[in-house]
Amino acid sequence: MSATIQRPALIVADRWRDYQLLDCGLGMKQERWGPHTLVRPDPQIIWPRSGGAAAWEQWDGYYHRSETGGGRWEFRRPLPEYWEIGYGTLRFKIRPTSFKHTGLFPEQAVNWDWFAEKIRAARAAGREVSVLNLFGYTGAATCAAAAAGASVCHVDAAEGMVKWCRENVALSGLADAPVRTITDDCMKFVRREIKRGRRYDAIIMDPPTYGRGAGGEMWKLEDHLWPLLRECREVLGDRPLFFLINAYTARLSPTVVVNLLAALLHDVPGGTITGGEVGLPIERDGKTLPCGIYGRWES
C-alpha cells in the first residue's frame, strides 16, 4: 500500500523563548534574538505595519538592502561578534552576516520538534537511528537530531557553515555525540555513500534555490532536486523512519514537494506524506509570517 497523502498544512514554530518575531510590515521584520533586536528585509511582507513608528525605532541592528543587490548592516551600538540563544537544551551561535542572515532559521524549530519525537520513539523501541542532513547549514537540525539520540552525518558545501555547525554541536553539549561533519557537494557525497554501501534511517535536506558546490558545481533547485532525491533513495535503509524536505523558493508549491516524495517512496509500504508552509507567529498582531515550505514522509 502506498503512502497516505494528507492535505497541505501550515505549521508554526510557536515554542520559542529566546526568539520573537515582534512585528512585520512594509517589507521588513523586527526580531528579538536573545538580548538584541534586529530589523531585516523579507520580500513576502507586502502588508502595512500595524505597530507605531516609535516601536520600530527600537533596534540594535538594521539591515539596509541595496538596490543593486546585497546590502549592509547598521548598528546603533557595538554588538558582540556573536551571541547565543537557546531552544530547549539546544544552544546556537548567532551572528549577523553580510548577507542579512544570522546563522539560524527559527521557523524550523517546528520541524526539529517533529523529527526529534520520531527519533526518541524509535530509540525507546530499541532501534538505533542514523540521520543524513544535507545542505545542513550551521547545524541546528543536526543538533536537534543528535540530542534526540540519533547518529548524524552533516553535509554542507561551505566550510564556514560546517565549522559553525561544530560550534553549535559543542554549545549544545553534544561534543561527544555521534556527529560527522563533512564539507562536500551533496550530490557527490551521496554518490560516494552509495558506493560505500552506507545506509541511513532518515534524511533531512534544506536545498537552496541556487547554490554552488565545494568544487564550483552549480545547483538549481528545479533542475537538480529530483536527481538528488533519486540518489538519496539508494542510501535510505529498508525501514526508513522519515524524509524531510524544506525549501525557500517562492516559485515552488508545497504540493510539488509532496508529489516528489510520493514518487520517490512509492515502493515503501505504508507511510504518511504531509506538506505545507512553515511559519512564525507575529507577536504584535497575531498574524503568521510564511517562511518557506516543507514536505514530510514518515513511517
As a whole number of angstroms, the distance between CA 17 and CA 34 comes to 8
Helix/strand/coil (H, E, C) string of 123-164?
A: HHCCCCCEEEEECCCCCHHHHHHHHCCCEEEEEECCHHHHHH
Average pLDDT over residues 154-163: 97
Domains and CATH numbers, the chain: 4-13+104-298 (3.40.50.150), 19-81 (2.60.40.1180)
As a whole number of angstroms, the distance between CA 132 and CA 23 comes to 35
Q: Is the pLDDT of residue 27 over 90?
A: yes
48 bridge partner residues: none
Rg (CA), the chain: 19
Q: Is the pLDDT of residue 87 over 60?
A: yes
Q: What is the pLDDT of residue 75?
A: 97
As a whole number of angstroms, the distance between CA 133 and CA 156 comes to 9
User: Where residue 252 falls among pLDDT bands split at 50, 70, 90?
Assistant: confident
Q: Is the pLDDT of residue 42 over 80?
A: yes
User: Where residue 157 falls among pLDDT bands split at 50, 70, 90?
Assistant: very high
69 phi-psi bin (left φ>0, alpha ψ -120 to 50, beta other): left
Q: What is the pLDDT of residue 208?
A: 92
As a whole number of angstroms, the distance between CA 230 and CA 26 comes to 41
Average pLDDT over residues 236-262: 94
Q: What is the pLDDT of residue 214?
A: 60
Beta strands (DSSP E) in the chain are 4-5, 9-12, 19-25, 28-33, 36-41, 61-65, 71-75, 83-87, 90-94, 130-134, 151-156, 179-183, 202-205, 210-212, 218-220, 242-247, 272-281, 288-298
- The DSSP line for 54-90 is HHHT--SEEEEEPTTS-EEEEESSPPPS-EEEEETTE
User: Where residue 1 falls among pLDDT bands split at 50, 70, 90?
Assistant: low
User: Where residue 50 falls among pLDDT bands split at 50, 70, 90?
Assistant: confident
pTM of the model: 0.96
In percent, the amount of the chain with pLDDT more than 70 equals 98
Q: Is the pLDDT of residue 202 over 90?
A: yes
Write the pLDDT tens digit of every residue in 88-115. 999 999 999 999 999 999 999 999 999 9
Count the Cβ atoms, other than its own, within 10 Å of residue 263: 11
Write the pLDDT tens digit of every residue in 214-231. 677 787 899 999 999 999
Q: What is the pLDDT of residue 212?
A: 75
